Every structure is written in C-alpha cells, then in structure tokens.
Structure 1
Amino acid sequence: MKKDNIFTNIITKKIKVDLLYQDELVTAFYDLNPQAPVHVLIVPNILIPTVNHITTNDEIILGRLFVVAAKIAKRKNIHASGYRLIVNCNHHSGQEIYHLHMHLLGGKPLGPLLQQE
C-alpha cells in the first residue's frame, strides 16, 4: 500500500491547509469538498488504510479522534444542535482515500443517514 497520500502530505505540512487541530496522534482540517456548513476531516497521524487495518495498538488514536471531534464541534458551536461522525471503509462505503479518517458534519439538519430506494 502506498505510504503517502494527500492526508500524509497535510499532516507533514508538505501541503499547506488551515489546520484546525494537530497533536502527536491526530490532525484535523476542513474538507476541500464540504457537504455541510461544517465539514471537518480528522485523521490519524499514522497511516491506517481502513477500519479493517485497526489493531489494539491503535485504541488511543481512535479515542483521540472522538475527543477531538467533540472539541471541534463545541468550538464550531454545533455541539448542542447536533452533528454526525462518519468513517467509511472500502469501496462500497465511498472511501476515496485509503487513510482512515473521520468526517465531522454539522451546521444544518443532515436528514436520514441513508436515502430510501
């Protein structure tokens, strides 16, 4: 699997973006193609391609994703009205970049998670 991608280049600052948060475990920044008024990506600083690649060694990183999501939701003042956290895994889910990432979406009513067919 390729070791660098757009997310690793953002984490290492090879690609400049407006970082919302960065520590030793995770990095957060705005999605370049927002689907809601607030659309933030929160990514581990190490490459974990998909949820299927998670190990018990990654538990602290995964917990940090959620802690940072809650902090950003509060900072963006969407914590009370509500927000959605999404992690896609592989092709059928719509995962486009094979570096685990969490979408934080909010700022408007988001409707049902899946559309009825």
Structure 2
Amino acid sequence: MAGEPQADCLFCKIVKGEIPATVVRETATTLAFRDISPKAPTHVLVIPKAHYRDAASLATAEPTIAGDVLREAGEVAAQEGVDGSGYRIVLNTGEGAGQTVFHAHAHVLGGRGLEWPPG
C-alpha cells in the first residue's frame, strides 16, 4: 500500500534504522543522507519517510510531502555550501531513467561543474 513501509525496500529500512546511513538532515516527513556511490563531491539523497514508488506517485498522493522533499533539497544544498555555486536536483522516475531504488528520492548534486545534458 502506498505510503506504508515496504519490507523489501532499502530506503524504508534506512528510515527505520535497520540499515545505517550517513544522515545529514531529518524532518518529520523527510530524511537526507549521503549517497554511497557519489557522482559529485556533494551527493545527498532526500527521501520521504513514507514509501512511494517514485516522484510522480508521491506528488499525486502527497503533494505537500513532495514539496517537503524539494524544500529539504534546497536546505541540503545550503548546508553543504553548494547553493551559491549551483547544484542539481534529480528525480529519476522508472528503470529507463536510471531509478534503481523504487522509493521516491531526490539526488542533490553539486561541488563540481554539472554540464547539460548530463552523462
């Protein structure tokens, strides 16, 4: 069921404290932690604590929490010191877009040049 923790979800296990993570911020609705395979000097994931498969389903079911994720992404960028130089927020939706953990999450990337298109 959407919103409910999933026993087989890596990020749900991180939220529950069953799997360790380097947490950088936490609110009532979100958790932000460092990516274990960073693609930039700053690479932090911001997730809703509630389980939604992807950003689109989160935004449809809980637009306020989707807003919380985006707001926290900005707070992470400021805390990490990349807000002045620029940063990217990436929300991959679906396997073809590179989503590998099917729990909505935003990547906050910064600390180096981020050319467009990415790749």
> Which TM-score applies when normalising by structure 2?
0.88
Q: Say what the alpha-carbon RMSD is for the aligned residues.
A: 1.7
Deviations 1:57-101 (A, max 9, x none): 411111111111111111111001000000011111011011010
13-22 vs 83-92, which moves further: 13-22
- Aligned residue pairs total 115
Alpha-carbon distance between aligned partners in 2 of 1:96 and 1:57, rounded to the nearest angstrom = 21
SS of 2:33's partner is strand
Map residues 9-20 of structure 1 onto 2, 5 A cutoff.
9-20=13-24
Change (3 A) 1:42 1:34: same
* Runs ≥4 residues deviating over 6 A: none
Is 1:3 the counterpart of 2:17? The answer is: no
Is 1:29 the counterpart of 2:33? The answer is: yes
Deviations 1:32-77 (A, max 9, x none): 0000000000000011002342354411111111111111111111
Q: Could you tell me which of 42, 45, 60 is aligned with 1:38?
A: 42
**Structure 1: which 5+ residue stretches go unaligned?**
none
Alpha-carbon distance between aligned partners in 2 of 1:66 and 1:103, rounded to the nearest angstrom = 10
In structure 2, what is the equivalent of residue 101 of structure 1?
A: 105
In structure 1, what is the equivalent of residue 73 of structure 2?
A: 69
Q: Could you tell me which of 105, 114, 117 is aligned with 1:110?
A: 114
**Structure 2: which 5+ residue stretches go unaligned?**
none
2-11 vs 65-74, which moves further: 2-11
Alpha-carbon distance between aligned partners in 2 of 1:18 and 1:85, rounded to the nearest angstrom = 19
